[in-house]
Structure 1
Amino acid sequence: MRFMRRVSRPPATRPGSKRFSGLRRLTFVAVAALLVAISFLGLGYYAAEEGFLGRVTLELNNIGDLPLPTSADRILVLAPHPDDEVLGTGGLIQQALAVGADVRVVFLTFGDNNILSFQSFLKRPVLTPTQIRAMGETRRLEALSALDVLGVAREQVTFLGYPDNGAMRLWRTHWSGAEPLWSRWLNSNQVPYQEAFSPGAAYSSANVLADLTQILAGFQPTMIFTSHPDDANSDHQALWLFTQAALFDLGAPYDAIPVWCYLVHYGSWPQARNVQTGNYLLPPTALLRADMAWTKFLLDDAQLATKTAALSKHASQLSLRPAYLESFLRANDLFARVDPVQLSAPLFEWQGIEFRPLFGSPKASLLKHLAPGLLLDEFDLAAQDDDLQISVATRRPLSPRQILVVWLFPHSAGTPFAETPKLEIILNSRGLSRVESLSPDMRDAIRFERADGRMVLRVSRAALGDPDALFVSASMHSNGIVLDRAGWRLVQLAPDPLRPIEPDPQPGVLHARWEQDADPTADEALPAP
């Protein structure tokens, strides 16, 4: 019957034919070659950006020495996840204990969201909230074992238990009046661990801030070591932000405590993986900036051996990325003092401040070279009269699918940080799209205009509570994908009477500029100690 007749295909397109198989192999080879080329392009760019190809030479003697703790010091180590305490401060902790200093270690999370590591460690899927909580407990015990190797007693270790990979969402959107953050991995919106500092506490920014404030006030540290604001991991950024906010709320003398930052995640950094006991840990080239004073603590052979033994206790993490974690087993710990941007000190001074993408080498910079028209170019901040002005330049106008998000989180003396306005300003191709804030009337306090190809926002300082400091960040998105992202900066708005007054190039206007593209070929070096 005709309707039952088989219709044959041309042999050339039949799936089992040699020609089809050849086309499939050719396509596979072409795609593989493209991926390899992109990989080499990325690795080559990263290596060049970090100075690995000799673009910038940084010697160890260009980095100052960390002020050594004494028996009178109280050292507070703040770690986003278990294992960060060893990677960032494994040598420093030993030195502090050796001289009789008090040491306390506080973890923001239980590290319960590293699903791939858990599955690699257990050799089976880890999917349910019960399984994930069990792995959080495993990581807590690993951290206690590692700190025991370093010499820290269990009673000096605290776990807050806030959501792993959720701290930045807490910081941005879960302040007063907002619903607690919901963790789908843990099926919970509150701290689920009885061993935590505040078990049952809702996942909210106010609770994180309250816990850190209580710990700081109770321990009264003389030195604080915490994660770096330019770290590529959002939990690391958020912990630095919460720490600064807690110090603001406590005021003097806490706001004068030196805070040292350690870096863990930054693209291809550190260069050369696996154990590098004979080499030194040096800063990424992109983070050699005027507002970062890098210092080192040199480990002796015994301290390095102990740090190595401590890291081995984090077996669940070493199962997936041993080469990366072991690359921190070097002859020094590395720290940076990150100074606030002095916008209005004094009132008549211009200042040029670098504002690089958060990922310096990784996510943003490679994309910047492949699609340079998409990204942030400059971000200027100025205070004039009663307004705070933000001027943003992109390499080309925003498309209808792209948005620019600017965050402004002010601090005002005398006002708890949790109660200050938190602004999320969203710009699109047409201009000001919307404003998210704790204060419902904030949109009326923001004006938008275009000037010389730039987008300019004017924000009433009074509506912000006449702040003396401001946390600032920005990011660019397309269809939900982050194209470029700038690390958070702390901007000091109050004038500093100790600095000399210089001639005003433009009366009444205070400027600070972040530029995305410093000349990568220019020699960058830290001042000799």
Structure 2
Amino acid sequence: MQRRCDFAQPDSLKRSAIVFSPHQDDETLGCGGTILKKTQAGAPIKIVFMTDGSQSHSHVMSAKDLRKIRSNEALAAAEKLGVASKDVMFLNITDGTLTHHKNMVIKKVKEILLTTLPEEVFVPYRQDGVPDHNATCHIVVSALKECGLRTTVYEYPVWFWCNWPWTNFAAQQKQESSTLGHHWNTGLNWLKYFRHAVDIQDVLDLKRIALEQHRSQMTRLIPDSGWSTLGDIAQGEFLQCFFQDYEFFYRYRLN
């Protein structure tokens, strides 16, 4: 299957946008470079965090402490991305429970959309593989349809990268053939859907600085081997996926 990409043009980088992030770090991982390019171009950008991030390391730190730490990290990262604190919103749904609150969150998202009327909306890929991520996409797209807004949606991959051929293929080869079939199909989805690309080569260093603000995800805040980091996943291969020359999106128009 031949892969063809269309690349973001300068005019598109000036369009207003809202980035919906399931957790505090997904905004930087999935589209941090694009946010930087847009804020540098003068585009109005808002970031909405769907959950409170309180469960990422709840086995070694209290949910209350994590919630505070991750919200502060999110604001620090947003600042590095060029987004002011007044343009950052927290819905504070308990981490891991977004699927149980869809109707209520759809209502909240509709209010945000109708107040801001963004030209573009960024959400995680619909089959990203983590419940909060998949739910974020479903909730936001449902809200957009109910509002009847004409906008362009960009779905960004995060946990999708934890599939063949990008990470840990040797370990996956040892799995059942049916599972390998799933990873092969995931690779085909990449060819089919992710055909829009934003060149972020000139802002890669700034994206790294923004991600470093999410210290709870990048470093061990306490000396406990149970505190996992993004760099631990797939022996670092997962994190490398976010520092390619381009960020890729599944782009489509609603209404």
Q: If the length of structure 2 is used for normalisation, what is the TM-score?
A: 0.79
For 1:270 and 1:112, how far apart are their aligned partners in 2? Answer: 31
Partner SS for 1:114: coil
Change (3 A) 1:216 1:132: same
Q: Which residue of 2 aligns with 1:239?
A: 136
Return the letter of the residue paired with 2:197: K
Equivalent in 248, 260, 272 of residue 154 of structure 2: 260
Deviations 1:347-390 (A, max 9, x none): xxxxxxxxxxxxxxxxxxxxxxxxxxxxxxxxxxxxxxxxxxxx
Partner of 1:308: 208
SS in structure 1 of the partner of residue 188 of structure 2: helix
Ranges in structure 2 where 5+ consecutive residues have no aligned partner: 169-184, 220-227
Aligned ranges 1:276-295 → 2 under 5 Å = 285-288=187-190, 292=193, 294-295=195-196
Note the C-alpha offset of 1:95: 1.1
Q: Hey, what's the Cα distance between the residues in 2 that align with 1:138 and 1:219? A: 28
Q: Is the 8 A contact 2:194 2:248 kept in 1?
A: no
Kindly tell me: are residues 288 and 304 of structure 1, through their superposed partners in 2, closer, same or farther at Cα, counting changes over 3 Å? closer
Partners of 2:12 and 2:247 lie apart in 1 by 18
- On the 8 A contact 2:102/2:135 being kept in 1, the answer is no
Give CA deviations for 1:213-232 in whole Å, capped at 9, x if unaligned: 01000110001111111111
Cα gap change, 1:330/1:289 in structure 2, threshold over 3 Å: closer, same or farther?
closer
Aligned partner of residue 160 in structure 1, secondary structure: strand
Q: State the alpha-carbon separation in 1 of the partners of residues 74 and 63 from structure 2.
A: 17
Whole-Å separation in 2 of the counterparts to 1:210 and 1:69:
31
Q: 1:330 deviation in Å? A: 1.6
Q: CA deviation at 1:293?
A: 5.2
Q: Secondary structure at the match of 1:161?
A: strand
Contact (CA 8 Å) 1:228, 1:240: kept in 2 or not?
yes
Write the distance in 1 (CA, Å) between the matches of 2:54 and 2:11.
32
User: Is this contact kept in 2: 1:69–1:101, CA < 8 A?
Assistant: no
Q: Who is 1:205 aligned against?
A: 102
Matched, 1:271 2:166: yes
Give runs of aligned pairs for residues 383-402 of structure 1, distance below 5 A: none
1:221 maps to: 118
Q: Give the alignment of 1:337-356 within 5 angstroms.
A: 337=251
2:121 partner SS: strand
Counterpart Cα distance in 1 of 2:66 and 2:35 = 26
Normalized per residue, the structure richer in helix is 2
Q: Which structure is richer in relative contact order (CA contacts within 8 A, separation 6 or more)? A: 2
Whole-angstrom CA distance in 1 between matches of 2:165 and 2:249:
14
Q: What amino acid is aligned across from residue 153 of structure 2 in structure 1?
A: V
Contact 2:75 2:88 in 1 (8 A): yes
Q: CA RMSD in A?
A: 2.5
Alpha-carbon distance change, 272 to 209 in structure 1, aligned in 2, over 3 angstroms: closer
Alignment of 1:367-446 (within 5 A): none
- Structure 1 runs not aligned, ≥5 long: 1-55, 120-124, 171-203, 274-282, 341-529
Amino acid at match of 1:248: K
- What are the residue-to-residue correspondences of 1:1-12 with 2, within 5 Å? none
1:318/1:325 contact within 8 Å kept = no
Among 80, 91, 94, which residue is 1:160 paired with? Answer: 91
CA offset at residue 328 of structure 1? 1.0
Matched, 1:296 2:204: no
TM-score (norm 1): 0.40
CA-CA distance at 1:239 after TM superposition: 0.7
Q: Aligned partner of 2:247: which letter?
A: D
Residue of structure 2 equivalent to 1:113: 55
Aligned-pair distance for 1:271? Answer: 1.7
- Give the number of equivalent residue pairs: 224
Aligned residue in 1 for 2:43? 101
Shift of 1:147: 1.1
Runs of 4+ in 1 over 6 A off after TM superposition: none
Q: 1:108 to 1:92 in 2, by over 3 A?
A: same
Going by fraction, where is strand more abundant, 1 or 2? 1
Tell me the amino acid that sits aligned with residue 299 of structure 1.
I
Amino acid at match of 2:68: E
Query: Which deviations, in whole Å up to 9, do the C-alpha atoms of 1:224-281 show, x marking residues without a partner?
Result: 1111111111111111111111112112xx0x211010011123357258xxxxxxxx
1:62-117 Cα shifts (integer Å, max 9, x gaps):
322134455862111111111101111111111111111100010101211112xx
